[in-house]
Structure formats: C-alpha cells, structure tokens
Structure 1
Amino acid sequence: MKYKVYLSGEIHTDWREQIIKGCEAKNLKVKFISANTDHESSDAAGDHLGLESDPFWRDHKSAKVNAIRTQTAIKSCDIAIIRFGDKYKQWNAAFDAGFCAALGKPYITLHDENLVHALKEVDASAQAWATSPEQIVELLAYTVEA
C-alpha cells in the first residue's frame, strides 16, 4: 500500500522538503500532497473571478477557491501532517486540523514546545505530536512498514 500524506501549515521553512527527503532516504511508499505554498498565488486564487476593491471579498473568494484544493486533498489523504510555526499564526492549519478531526482523518501535529498550550485542543485530537521533521519521518516509517 502506498500512503498518501497531506502536508499542511507553515510555508516559511523547508520542513516539507526535510520530510520528503527523509522518506525518500528510507524508501518509504509515500506520496505527498500539499496546499499551495506560494503565498502570492494563494492570495490571488480567486482573482480570475473578478477583481475586488475590498480586501475582505478578495480574501473570501480566494479562500473558497483554495478550499477546493485543501478539502479534496484532506478527504483523499491517509494521514495529514500539520505544521505550526513560531513566526506567524497558521489559522488555516488549525482549520485543516479541525477538518481532519471532523472527518476522522488521522493527523500528526508538528510544532515546538512553546506552542503546546496554544494548541492543546488541536493536539488533543491528533494521533501524535512531533517537534521535528525527523520525528515525522520515523512516525511515517513505523506506520508504513509496520
């Protein structure tokens, strides 16, 4: 079986690449899918539907267009990895975690210890909490190879 893993969350570091390379090094049967990680094109996802003068409606349209991708990816994945970084608030990642929980999709959170309190409800529904991409690779290896 080839596992489909959805990578959600923070886009300002190379955590996705670290996980992908770590799984490749272990020859794990894993296919990765992700949300759009290009901030500008994500913000502009709804622009082809007509320009908006009010930023709220631009964001609203783009969020709906982006949801086509994220909801489809989450529904089709076997497991989600949801990364919360320190620098920015990843409200979209929290929403993805809630969506996974509502669908009964297993997910693992990835964040530093300083976010434990802020993410207590998100972590409570997760199957695991990791602090490094290396830990994620080990969790996936166990899941795929066990």
Structure 2
Amino acid sequence: MTLKVYLSGEIHTSWREDLIAACDGLDVKFDAPVTDHGASDDCGVAILGAEDNKFWHDHKGAKVNAIRTRKGIEDADVVVVRFGEKYKQWNAAFDAGYAAALGKSLIVMHQAEHQHALKEVDAAALAVTETPEQVAQILRYVLTSVLPG
C-alpha cells in the first residue's frame, strides 16, 4: 500500500526533509505547498499583476496557492501539519481544519508549549507529535505493523 502524505505548515526549518529521510524505504509519496517564501508570497502578483494595496497582493497569492494546497490535501491519505515555534501559522490551522472536514487522517506536530493554543486542532487529529521521527514511526507502523525499537 502506498501512502500519499501531504506536509503542511511552517517553512522555516528542515522538518520536511527530516521526515522524508526518516521514512526512507517506506512506500510513501510526499507532497507539500510551495516552500519558497518569496515565491509563495508573490505568486499572485507575479502572474496576475501588481497590487498597490498589500491586502490584495496577499489575497491574490493566497488564492493561487490554494489551488495547490486544496489538490494536495484532497489527494492525500494522511495530512501532517507542523506548527513551528517562532510564527503563528494561521494557514497551517486552516489546512488542519480543511483536512479534518474532508475526513483525512490528520497528524499534528508541535512543541508542548503550544498544547493549549492548539487544543481544538489537536482534538481533530488522530495523533499529536513533537518530532518528524514520531511521524515517521507512525507511518512505518501504519504500513508495516512494526513498532519502533
């Protein structure tokens, strides 16, 4: 069985690469949003034309990015949403809610200090983790029935 896993959330650390490396040998296909921050922010105006107002600049970019995000989440068997330590990722919370509304298997990843702020998101998840390695262990167990260690 091949698992399609969509990796949503913060783009400021190497968690995606760490998770993919930890899943080496597993039958997993990964997908993700555009993680080039500049390209993600400016795609709407680069393609559809400049905006004087920052709201409309961001609005265009969000809509263009949503085409990829919606497709990735809809096609996924499992959606992993990482909440980073430095920034509030409202888009990640939205992706988690969208995945939950679609009935996707949702794994949330964040540090313990965010438990209270993310309690509703955590309640929708099938697993709440802190590290890419824990996510990899879940995927390994789902695919192989093998426990870590």
TM value normalised by structure 2: 0.95
What is aligned with 1:143?
142
Structure 2 Cα separation of the partners of residues 123 and 105 of structure 1: 14
Quote the residue 1:36 is aligned against.
34
State whether structure 2 residue 113 is matched by structure 1 residue 114.
yes
State how 1:52-63 maps to structure 2 within 5 Å. 52-63=51-62
Name the amino acid aligned to 1:37: T
Distance in 2 (alpha carbons) for counterparts of 1:105 and 1:78? 6
Where do 5+ consecutive residues of structure 2 fail to align?
A: none
Match of 2:10 in 1: 10
What is the root-mean-square deviation in Å for CA atoms of aligned residues? 0.6
Cα distance in 1 between the residues matched to 2:89 and 2:33: 13
Give the Cα separation in 2 of the matches to 1:59 and 1:144.
39
How far residue 91 of structure 1 moved from its aligned partner, in angstroms, is 0.6
3-state SS of 1:46 partner: helix
Alignment length (residue pairs)? 144
- For normalisation by structure 1, the TM-score amounts to 0.97
2:102 equivalent in structure 1: 103
1:94 matched residue in structure 2: 93
CA distance in structure 1 between the aligned counterparts of 2:88 and 2:103, rounded to whole angstroms: 24
Is residue 2:79 matched to residue 1:80?
Answer: yes
Q: Give the letter for the 2:60 counterpart.
A: K
Runs of 4+ in 1 over 3 A off after TM superposition: none
Partner SS for 1:89: coil
Name the CA distance, whole Å, in 2 between partners of 1:2 and 1:17.
19
Read off the aligned partner of 2:126 and give its amino acid letter.
Answer: Q
Aligned amino acid, residue 38 of structure 2: E
Alpha-carbon distance in 2 for matches of 1:134, 1:101: 23
Report the secondary structure of 1:11's partner residue.
coil
For 2:10 and 2:49, the matched residues in 1 are separated by 28
- For structure 1, the 5+ residue unaligned runs are none
